[in-house]
Structure 1
Amino acid sequence: MIYRTLGSTGEKVSAIGVGGWHLGLPRVSEAESIRLVRVAIDRGITFMDNCWDYNDGASELRMGKALKDGYRDRVFLMTKIDGRSRQEAARQLDQSLQRLQVDMIDLVQHHEVLRFEDPHRIFDEDGAHQALLEARQAGKIRYLGFTGHKDPQIHLHMLRVAAENGFRFDAVQMPLNVMDAHFRSFQQMVLPELVREEIGVLGMKSMANGILLKSGAVTAVECLRYALHLPTSVVITGIDSMDVLEQACQVADAFRPMEPAEVESLLSRTAEAARTGYYEPFKTTSLFDGTAASPAWLGEEPERLRQLFTR
């Protein structure tokens, strides 16, 4: 396994991270998910991804069980919360702590920053950011970040709103893959800004749950190699079987930076398939937007703002 530094935190993390969503899928038994996490840790993977809303909490519950018996001390644990209000964010964070059976989570991220209003709701005086700052002060979390998969302009907007509020994130999670390089590109627009500010880069959707592979233009190994080639701190990948885990470990173990000619060839081969965003439906549809399907997860709008419409 190879290890990289998470932005300016100084934390060393594995370049491959275990995606939490797959661990709670019905086709993966609880016993198998626990085994996958523990074998991954034994193989040197230290970065664990999860989220409050994954599989109605099953993903966090399973990971909590997997991290018992000394495994918690060997990982960098991350989860995400959907709440935009201070109250809802605090409630979700406490529930995540209970499910994961830990007193402290290394990194907590604002999940699915998909709308231009999300940053303002999060940084409102009664917003989720205040809840996470209080949790950090209380020792419940160490680092703060945010995620999103819709549009790089929204990521840049979130960074601007954070700066306006005197805050700099420790990590940012976003799609980074061979198709993204061509269409509404996080790689082109957001990645340079994160590198410049020394913010940890968490790459996700390197294969988009296998959707990129359906194009026939690229293989799983090529997808992982390309994402690792970028200046990512971690490439989070879905692991739902021992074969998939072994493949990810082998790619990391054998990794070397891609030659310019290799990158050019790969991007040339994927350009047409990527042109319209068809193979990145998380950008072009709402099918991947959990908070759109369940808006109650976001919590209430600030009361003082709602009253403006009733006066």
Structure 2
Amino acid sequence: MIYRTLGSTGARVSAIGVGGWHLGLPRVSEEDSIRIVRSAIDRGINFMDNCWDYNEGASELRMGRALRDGYRDRVFLMTKIDGRTRREAARQLEQSLQRLQVETIDLVQHHEVLRFEDPHRIFDQDGAHQALLEARQAGKIRYLGFTGHKDPQIHLHMLGVAAEHGFRFDAVQMPLNVMDAHFRSFEQLVLPELVRQEIGVLGMKSMANGILLKSGTASAVECLRYALHLPTSVVITGIDSMEVLDQACHAADTFRPFEPAELESLLSRTAEAARTGYYEPFKTTSLFDGTAANPQWLGEEPERMRQLFTR
């Protein structure tokens, strides 16, 4: 397994991470999900991804059970919360701690920063960021980050709003794949800024749940290799079977950076399919936007803003 440093935290993390969403899918039994997590750890993968809303909590519950019997001490554990208010973020975080059966989560991220108003709600005086800072002070969290999959400009806006509040995130999660390189590109716009600020880079949607593969322009191993080729700390990938785990480990075991001619060939092959964003529907539709379908997860708008609106 390849290990890299997570930004400026000093934490050593596996270059491949286990995506939590797949672990709670109905087609994956609890027994199989626990086997996947423990086998991944035994094979050197130490980065575990999850989220408060994945499969109505089943993903966190299963991971919590998998991390018993000494496995928790061998991983860097991450989860995400959707709440935008101080109260809702604190509630969701407590649920995540209970489900995961831990006292401390290594990294907690503001999930689905998809709208330009999200950073302002999160950094409001009664916003979610206050809840996470308090949790960090209490020893419930080690590091803080945010995620999003919609538009690189929104990521840059989130970084800017954080800076205005004197804060720098420890990690940022975003789509990094062979098609993102051509369309509304996080790689071109956000990645250089994260590297400059020494913020940990968490790549996701290297295959977009298999959607990229339907273009017929790149194989699964090429997709993983491309994401690993970038200055990512971790490439988080969905693993719903032992066969897929074998594939992910093989990609890490055999990884070597692309030669310039190889890279040019791969990007040339994917350019036309990537041009309109058709194979990246998380950018161009709301199909991947859990908080759009469940706005109650975000919590109420700030009271002082609502009062201003009704005056």
TM-score normalised by length of structure 1: 1.00
Counterpart-to-counterpart distance in 2, 1:217 and 1:65: 38
* Match of residue 13 from structure 1: 13
Counterpart-to-counterpart distance in 1, 2:197 and 2:23: 32
Counterpart-to-counterpart distance in 1, 2:205 and 2:111: 15
Q: Does 1:228 align with 2:228?
A: yes
**Counterpart of 1:178 in 2: which secondary structure?**
coil
* Match of residue 219 from structure 1: 219
Report the AA paired with residue 29 of structure 1: S
**Counterpart of 1:174 in 2: which secondary structure?**
strand
- Superposition RMSD in Å: 0.4
Matches within 5 A, 1:94-173: 94-173=94-173
**Counterpart of 1:10 in 2: which secondary structure?**
coil
Counterpart-to-counterpart distance in 2, 1:52 and 1:28: 18
Q: Does 1:176 align with 2:176?
A: yes
Report the AA paired with residue 280 of structure 1: E
* Match of residue 247 from structure 1: 247
- Superposed CA deviations along residues 64-85 of structure 1, whole A, max 9, x for unmatched, are 0000000000000000000000
* Match of residue 25 from structure 1: 25
Query: How many equivalent pairs are there?
Result: 311
Counterpart-to-counterpart distance in 2, 1:16 and 1:275: 28
Counterpart-to-counterpart distance in 2, 1:80 and 1:260: 36
Counterpart-to-counterpart distance in 2, 1:295 and 1:259: 45
Question: What displacement does 1:99 show?
Answer: 0.2
* Match of residue 287 from structure 1: 287
Counterpart-to-counterpart distance in 1, 2:9 and 2:164: 21
Report the AA paired with residue 19 of structure 1: G
Consecutive unaligned residues in structure 1, runs of 5 or more: none
* Match of residue 192 from structure 1: 192
- Superposed CA deviations along residues 163-218 of structure 1, whole A, max 9, x for unmatched, are 00000000000000000000000000000000000000000000000000000011
- Superposed CA deviations along residues 18-74 of structure 1, whole A, max 9, x for unmatched, are 000000000000000000000000000000000000000000000000000000000
Question: What displacement does 1:304 show?
Answer: 1.1
Counterpart-to-counterpart distance in 2, 1:155 and 1:79: 19
Counterpart-to-counterpart distance in 1, 2:309 and 2:142: 38
Counterpart-to-counterpart distance in 2, 1:310 and 1:222: 54
- Superposed CA deviations along residues 110-133 of structure 1, whole A, max 9, x for unmatched, are 000000000000000000000000
Matches within 5 A, 1:256-275: 256-275=256-275
* Match of residue 73 from structure 1: 73
- Superposed CA deviations along residues 242-294 of structure 1, whole A, max 9, x for unmatched, are 00000100110111111111110000000000000000000000000000000
Larger mean Cα displacement after TM superposition, 81-90 or 301-310? 301-310
Question: What displacement does 1:310 show?
Answer: 2.1
| Percent identical | 89
TM-score normalised by length of structure 2: 1.00
Question: What displacement does 1:309 show?
Answer: 2.1
Consecutive unaligned residues in structure 2, runs of 5 or more: none
